[in-house]
Amino acid sequence: MRERLAGLRRDHDKGQAQLQRLMREEAATRDALLRVGGAIRILEELLPEDETPCTGPAGEDGAAPAAAPAEANSRPKPGPPRAVHVP
């Protein structure tokens, strides 16, 4: 029984270490997403009002530009940051 208890404690310690590593990775990923989302917002604000991220201004002949692919318009905009409880 002592060997079983020691094995369970080792497994528990390994699980705790893995959980801590994953929590650090989650925090780093969240920070990266916030930075990228902020950069997206800034670039969208810097675009001229008559130009959208997917189309661009009218051509030299005044004609409207060709339609952008559907997947370019289907990308959701990042939402506001959410508070996440990390013990």
Position 65 scores a pLDDT of: 53
Domain boundaries defined on the chain: 23-48
pLDDT surpassing 90 at residue 61? no
| CB within 8 Å of 47: residues ≥ 6 apart | 53
pTM passes above 0.95: no
The string of pLDDT tens digits covering residues 9-47 is 999 999 999 999 999 999 999 999 999 999 999 999 999
Burial 44-53 (b: 16+ CB within 10 A, else e): eeeeeeeeee
